[in-house]
Structure 1
Amino acid sequence: MTNRKESTPRQLSCRRCGTGFTCDLSGECWCAAEPFRLPMPAHDGGDCLCPDCLRALASQQTDTAAM
């Protein structure tokens, strides 16, 4: 998520796969309910990831950390 405060969900495209999804910065966003926390992406002009890509990235980082 970005640090901007907005009251309505934003319509986004995943920066990884292009899938459309919404991001709600009011605290009710789907990502707030995820059991893991990842660092914010680097300031590379990217934005949020879709649920599938975020979960895949979290799984990949968990697998890497376990090695």
Structure 2
Amino acid sequence: MTNPKETSTQEPQPRRLACSRCGTEFGCDLSGTCWCAEETARLPMPIKGEDCLCRECLRKAAAEASRNQDGVQA
């Protein structure tokens, strides 16, 4: 039999996600310390129907958004 105190002190496992754009699997730490919190690339909230993006797709999307924004200002 397991000791309830032992199981309650275990760290929560990262939830497994699949990137909305490429399908790559990655983890998101439920304690609030996800890799994306440290990422310098920032985007607005995901577009309708999208969820989290993997690091590579997030960076690509941020670069594309930056190029589009620069094109509008020029």
Q: TM-score, normalised by structure 1?
A: 0.75
Ranges in structure 2 where 5+ consecutive residues have no aligned partner: 1-11
Ranges in structure 1 where 5+ consecutive residues have no aligned partner: 1-6
The aligned residue for residue 26 of structure 2 is 21
Matches within 5 A, 1:34-45: 34-44=39-49
Structure number, greater radius of gyration:
2
Residues 19 and 26 of structure 2 are in contact (CA less than 8 Å); yes or no, is this contact kept in structure 1?
yes
CA distance in 2, matches of 1:29, 1:18: 18
Q: Among 28, 51, 57, which residue is 2:55 paired with?
A: 51
How many correspondences in the alignment? 60
CA distance in 2, matches of 1:26, 1:39: 22
The aligned residue for residue 3 of structure 1 is none
Q: TM-score, normalised by structure 2?
A: 0.69
- The structure showing larger relative contact order (alpha-carbon pairs under 8 Å, at least 6 residues apart) is 1
The aligned residue for residue 31 of structure 1 is 36
